[in-house]
Structure formats: C-alpha cells, structure tokens
Chains A and B, each alone.
Chain A
Amino acid sequence: MSIASTSVIQIIPRTRRGVELLLLVIAIAVSVAAYVNIGVTVQNAVPASTGYYAAGIGLLALIAHLALRYRAPYADPVLLPCAVLLNGLGVAMIHRIDLGLAIVAEARGKVPKGPAAPQQITWTAVGVVLFLVVILVIRDHRRLQALTYTAGLAGLLLLVLPLIPGLGVNLNGARIWIRLAGMSFQPGEFAKICLVVFFAGYLVVKRDVLTLAGHRFLGLDLPRARDLGPIGIAWVVSLGVLVFESDLGSSLLFFGLFLFLLYVSTERAGWLIIGGLLFAGGAFFAYTTFGHVHRRVTDWLDPWAIDGGQVKLGLMGQSWGGILGRGLGQGHPEATLYAQSDMIISSFAEELGLTGLIAILLVYTLIIERGLRTALGCRDIFGKLIATGLAMSFALQVFVIVGGVTGLIPLTGLATPFMALGGTSLVANWAIIALLLRISDQARRPQTPAAPVSDDTIAMAVQKA
C-alpha cells in the first residue's frame, strides 16, 4: 500500500486555525440565538440565563480552540465547530423542554423538576476538560498502540458493567446503564472508544494473516476457518449485549465497528458478508427467542398500537413539525416521553421541522466524513484504523438512534451524540472528537518539520504580492 499514490498527500500544510475560530463564532452565535429565541417565545423575554449560557459555551469552545492552537495546530478545523454547534443546540433544546415541562407541571399543580440544562452545561465542561486532557496528554496517538490489550480488557469490562447486580439498572427496557453515587452512567459510550483502540491495535498485528490466507468462493475471497476466531468472539459478545442488555443499538454498534475495521484492514469484502450474515442470523434468533427483543420489533412495526408510546408520540411531534417546523418554543416537544434524551432528535424535528433536522444530520455527516478524511490522510495504519473506527461508530450511532426515533428501524437506547441529555455520552463524544483532532493534526502536519504557516502570514504574503 503506497500512500504517495493517493491524492491525499497533496494537502498544502496550513493550520486553518483562523477558519476554525470563524466557524466557532458562527456555531456559538447560532446556539445563543436559539437560546434567546426560545426565551422570547416561551417567556416573552430574553432569558436572564443567556449570559451564563453564552459565556459557558463560548468560553469552553475558546479554551478548546486555544488548546488546539497550542498542541495540535494542524488539526482539522471543521470538527470542533461542528461539535460545539451540536452541543450548544442540544443544551438550548434541553432548556426549551425544561420550560415546557415546567409549564405542564404548573398546569397540573405539581412542583416542576429541577431544570436539566445547567446540568448538561456542567457535563459539557467535564467533556471539554477530557478533551483538553486528550489533546495535551496524548501527544502522539501511536502511543495508544501499547495499550491494545489493556483497552480491550477495559472495553469488555465496561460492556458487562451494567450486568452486575446492584450496579446496573434497567431503564426503558434496556440494561445499558449503571448507577453510581446517585448518578447514571452509560459505560458503553466509553467501551466504544476502548474497543476501537483494541480492534485497531489487534488488526495492525493480525491483518496480514487475515488478508493473505484464504480461498475464493463465488468470486469472494473467504478467510480460512481458523482465522474466524476473532470475528466469532466479537459476534458472541455483541449477541450477548443484545440478549442480556437487550439493546439492539449497542449490539449493532460494537459488531459493526469490528466488521468495518476488519474490512478496512484486510480490504476483503468477504468479511463484511460473513459478518452481515452472522449478525442477521443472530438478530433473527434473538427476535424469535427473546420476548423483549420481539417487543421492540413489534413496537417498531406498529407504533400506533401503544397508547402513549414514546415512538408514537415522537412521530406525532415530527409530523406536527412538518417541513418548516413549529418554530423554537412553539411546539410541544415536552409531550413526548424522554424528549430531552432518547427522543431529542424528534424534539428538533418538531420545532425546526424537516429542514432543521436535515441541517443537523448534515452536521453529523460532516463530522463523520471529516473523521474518515482524517483516516485517509493519516500516515500510519493504527491511526487510520482508529480514525475510521471512531468516525464509523459515530455514523452507526447516529443512524441507529435517529433511525429509531424516526421509525426507520426499531428504537434502541443509544444516545444522540452531543445533543441528548446525559453526561457519559457527552463526555465520551468530546474524547472522540479530541482523538480525531489529535490524529488529524498528525495527518495534516507537513512531513518534513517546517514552521507552521498561519493564515495570517499567508494573508500578509498575499498583500505584499
């Protein structure tokens, strides 16, 4: 494999930090505008908390930006603004639903629950701290390769954590949460990162064996039977997640992740076919054997049958949003169960309409494609695999949760990256973005050490010419 033969190497080494700053300003402006818009429509006033919100989001974004200038000057300029925009809009929508729930509680003569938005801002801060730690501590992602098996073990442990009695809790039909010190965590979110590191490190070593030996069948290069071990283990583990944690989303995510990396490292489509068949078979077995899996599927096939079902309420909200949406603060997203967490995409679809939903999906697509772009440009195989794994995990997760909420596939309990209420997922996603930025810094950095050319010096050069 020769990297020089691809077009990727043609990057002119520029830091693009100025572009990032401009995009960040736009992302923050959009988020703050949304926040103010909500206050004006729901409470007829610019909310008093606007300053707190704007300063919080703005400061966090600025710190992250400065850390990149300092330690990863060549990092991708689009990823951070995308993350800030999604996070900011997510907090604004959580705040909006806080207001809606308070109105409902008041109408029923009950005391409203405490608002969730400040909590989410706090978690954003924690996420950005982890972001800084990753950027500042991990100076070279290749050092993670030494942690391959540690990461694998950690990932597996995190995966089974919710199954430990007394620690794991069953929420909304799935057992993917743990409760510690009065707070809930979704360890699967971090398991995902650990497993990507493990898969990458493992495949860097084993890819030759998996690629070379094999035989052709029906035009497909099939692997040797004895090499099927790893895929078998991944299959059993992901089926275990499906059966014992009853979460189709996590199961699909982990197995899909492994398959994609296997495919990228070996470039043999045969793995995808074998894996796809294995997964389909396993999922069908689970569907016919286990009641809770079966119920998820029937709920999906006929969401209208369940009175007050979250999918049904969500679909009604999305329809009510129509093409242009009700407008921020003018719908009833609080009428949907879990409107701030599982169903937050439905809340956006209701108030911002199909238009807003597609815009959000495009931002997600940007993150995914910038992540894969990083993988293309990365010069080492380990980094390529990690970037691919992180980007594809993002893609799968968005597909699984948004697909579930919009009725395309059965609903599962995965978090909507950066937007859904929930600390674990938010913090983990900030770590993912940090890792991608770290790799992209290496990928975009000029190969021969040279003084970074900033946008300013180019601008000066242009002026002089």
Chain B
Amino acid sequence: MNSAIRRLAVAAIVLMLALMANSTYLQAFRANEINGRNDNNRVRDSQFSVNRGPILIGSTPVAQSKESDDRFKYQRTYANGMVYAPVTGFYSYLFGRGGIELTMNAELNGSDPSMAFRRIIDVISNRPQQGGSVTLTLNAAAQQAAYNGLAGKTGAVVAIEPKTGRILAMASRPSYDPNQLASHDTEKVGAAWKSLNADKNKPLSNRAVQELYPPGSTFKLVTAAAALSSGKYTPETKVASPAELPLPQTTVPLVNEDGKNCGGSNNATLTIALRYSCNTAFGTVGMALGADALNEQAAKFGFGAKPLTELPAVATSQFPGDPNEPQTAQSAIGQFDVRATPLQMAMVAAGIANKGEVMKPYLVQNVKTPDLKTVSETKPESLHQAVTPQVAAQLTAMMVDVVNNGTGRPGRISGVQVAGKTGTAQTSRERPPFAWFTAFAPADDPKVAVAVLIEDANIPRNDIAGGTLAAPIAKKVMEAVLGQ
C-alpha cells in the first residue's frame, strides 16, 4: 500500500512541476509577445502613465507627451498632426496605435531591450520610466510641400534621398488629426474613430505605402530598363510604334493615349517613345522581352518584396504572375495586373538616380535614450543593383528628355535639371484614371527622387494626365529639398 502512496506522491509532484513549467513558459518566454498585443489593456494603461518619448524631425517634435492632469499622467500631442499623421500614426487609449507609434512602441515607451540598462538605473534611482526618442528622416519643408501640394486631392507623395534611401517626405491625403484619437475624452475619440472609418475616402490609410495602384506609364521606366539591360536595345533603337498595335490572341488592340502614332513616327526610338509615353512602342518591347525579363527587372527595383518595415501594413508591389502575350504587352505599360505603391515608384526613380543601385528606404534615422545617448542609428543599406551605371545613365538621359521636351514639362525647375516620367493609369471607365509623376533632381547629382500619385483630383476626366496634375507637386517637393 505504501509503495502505491509513494508513487502517487511522485505523481502529485509531477502535476505541480507541470504547472510550474507551463507558467515559466508563459511568464518568462511568451510574455513579450503577449504584452505587445494591441488589445492588451493592462499594458496600454501602464504605458499611458509612462513619459513616452517624442518623435522628432531634426530636433523638432512632431509627437510628444505633455503632462496632463486628468486620469492619465501624460497627453500625447501632435504638432502639425494632419501633415505627419501618415508617418507618426496615432496613440489612442481605445483604438491602439498606428504608424511609428505602433512599430517603435517599445523604444518610445522605453521598454525595448536596448534600453534595459537605463531602465534598471531608473528602478534603482527610483525615477519613473521614461521613453526614448525616435528621430525621423523626414525633411520638414519637403513634407509640408508634399502635403500642401495634395490639397483638395486624394493621393500620396513619397520623396527619397537616392544615395541613402532616407525617406524625405511621405504624405497622404485626405489625412486625419491624430490629436483627435489621442484625446483622453473617450466619447469624442469613439466618435472620431467611427467617422474616420466610415469615411469612404479612407483618411486613416497611408496611401504612400498601404495602397496599391496600377502604375501606368511610370512603369515604362522598368520596361525601358529591362530593354536596355538586355543588350538588344539602345536609347536609339527603333521599335514599332503605330497608333494601334494589334495584339495576338485578342481583338482588342493596344492604343496610344492620343490615338495617334508616336511623335509622328510609326517606328520611333526608345527615347522618343518615352518622351511621348507611347503605349504601342513599349507594348512591342514588352512582348519582345517577355514577361520573365520584365518581372525580373521589376523585382530588382523592389517589386514582390515588402519595401519598408517601419510602418504597419505596408503593401507589396506586384508584377503579374504568368501573363500571356497580350497581358504582357499591357503589363509593359503598367496596366493589366501590375500594382505598385507610390513608395515603390519613388524607389524606381531613386534607383535610376543612384547609378542603378536601389537603396532600402527607411524612415527612422536614430533612436536615443532620454539622456540623448544613441541607441541605434540606421545605416544606408543596398537592396539591389537594378541596372548597370551605364544603363542608369541612358535612362537618366531619356528621363531628362521627357521633362525637357515631352509629357513631363510641368515638372521643370529653373536652374536645375530634372529627370522624370509621367503616368496615367486606367482602371475602369467609371472611375477617373490615376495620375502619376516620378522624377529626380538634379539629374547629374541627384539629391531627391520623388513619386506623386493623384487618385482623384475632383476635375473632369479628360484633364487628367500625370504631367499636368502630379508633376507640379513633385516639382514643389524637389524644390523644397533642394532649398529653392
């Protein structure tokens, strides 16, 4: 009998050990994951009583916590909130976080492992926990120019420093005021959240990175890059460019925007074809190169991979999976199922500007502790050599021609040589086409690459063209960066 009792005694200890092991796994190993959940009210409550670090541009805070005398110790406030909302995101008691507030939460509230030492010191010296600061790469003047340029429109602007990948501007409109969501008046916050979500213009969406659009003619840069890289083409190579290009396997031909042939020629050079953005010429090139070559070139510019990890819900730009010949021709001009974010098209321009090397875009310049010790500093990182420096130079010359002599004229800046490409993308007859412009300047020593997308400009459809709508905004943003 006693041996059976002894065995039960061992069994009881095994049961208790199982409980301890399970709790150890939960509280020691899974805790970080569970604490990071957006629906974790406990963590949110305690974080609301932490002096959260600021989000800075240079040394100017665009988001900071100020002492508050209501039920929480601090109130998050956003200076110029509408302008920076797509990047900073919001910090709400009821609805979690967005943008940098979400992705850099651990650094901002000081709970990141990189600040563990500092936290221990705080505990020992009985100081309250204080969060670190996050400095953005944004350029205040460029960001403001981008935001102002989009006034009254639905669209997005992204500007990148080509040599590093630093994002200088990222604007999206319609925007929202994050102060509304950060308020401690939960009723008002609830109402604001409801109306923002109900708004069909999706003000909470950061169109620069979270939405995908057909890139239209701006994608011809990728097709041109693939053509020049193949070795079978030079900028002077002539390709078939009739007013209407009959496509195999279908009765629907590919047509040029204006219904005419390419700048008066049925056999235009690549440079001329880009200058007038001739669909038939690039359709011909696309079919000759094949979908695989286009896909490969697109991937080298960043298609098919998430370009940015510092914002939530960043969309991945796509080249269609296995298009047939007419679909390949459509894809070569950025139609069919080609989809890109404005950030992606800015990366194409930036890659060409940076001698063919695409840099990984980033928004966070550095993270510092409250006593201004640098915790981390983002280093520029190369993604791909998308094209050779020679091909990049050829593409640059072609884009300069677009701005000087072609559809991109509204993007010219006096005294500075701009290289660019316009785009107009159709989706359906019911909704207005998307207007694009992507460019960089100065052409010989690029300091900024930019992509502008206008989704809906509230003007009659026949007026929409990348050149007239989008290029002036790109121009303002580039001027802001170049200090003009």
Contact = CB atoms under 8 A, between A and B. Distances in A.
B5 interface: yes
B22 A407 contact: yes
A106 to B, nearest CB: 10
Interface in B22-46: 22-24, 26-28, 30-31, 33-35, 37, 39-43, 45-46
Interface in A396-419: 396, 398-399, 402-403, 406-408
Contact of A369 (B1, B12, B30): B12
Contacts of A391: 12
Given A332-B45, A335-B42, A399-B15, A369 B27 contact: no
Contacts of B45: 332, 335
A398 B27 contact: no
Contacts of A365: 12-13, 16
A381 B71 CA distance: 63
A44 to B, nearest CB: 15
Interface in A269-326: 304, 307, 315-323
A263 B4 CA distance: 7
Contact of B13 (A315, A335, A369): A369
Main secondary structure of the interface of A (DSSP, over half): helix
Among the interface residues B9, B18, B24, B41, which one has the most CB atoms of the partner chain A within 10 A?
Answer: B9
Nearest to B40: A316
A445 interface: no
Nearest to A369: B9
B19 A372 contact: no
Interface stretch (A82-90, A243-251, A350-358): A350-358
Contacts of A375: 5
Interface in B455-480: none
Contacts of B6: 376
Interface string A1-24: 101001010000000000000000
Contact of B5 (A304, A319, A388, A408): A388
A319 B31 contact: yes
B34 to A, nearest CB: 4
A407 B18 CA distance: 12
A37 B246 CA distance: 84
Contacts of A321: 27
A254 interface: no
Given A6-B2, A376-B2, A322 B8 contact: no
Contacts of A369: 9, 12-13
Contact of A318 (B3, B4, B15, B26): B26
A366 to B, nearest CB: 10
Contacts of B8: 260, 263-264, 372, 388, 392
A98 B8 CA distance: 39
A381 B1 contact: yes
A368 interface: yes
Interface centre among A319, A362, A372, A375 (most CB of B within 10 A): A319
B121 interface: no
Nearest to B34: A319
Q: Interface centre among B22, B28, B31, by most A CB within 10 Å?
A: B31
Contacts of B26: 315, 318-319, 406-407
B42 A349 contact: no
Given A322-B28, A364-B16, A369-B12, A376 B23 contact: no
Interface of B: 1-6, 8-9, 12-13, 15-16, 18-20, 22-24, 26-28, 30-31, 33-35, 37, 39-43, 45-46, 71
Interface of A: 1, 3, 6, 8, 107, 260, 263-265, 267, 304, 307, 315-323, 331-332, 335, 349-350, 353-354, 357-358, 361-362, 364-365, 368-369, 372-373, 375-376, 381, 384, 388, 391-392, 395-396, 398-399, 402-403, 406-408
Given A323-B27, A384-B1, 10 more contacts: A1-B1, A265-B1, A322-B31, A349-B23, A357-B27, A364-B16, A365-B12, A388-B5, A403-B18, A406-B23
17 contacts: A264-B8, A316-B41, A316-B42, A320-B43, A322-B28, A332-B45, A358-B23, A361-B19, A365-B16, A368-B9, A368-B12, A369-B9, A372-B8, A376-B2, A392-B8, A398-B16, A399-B18
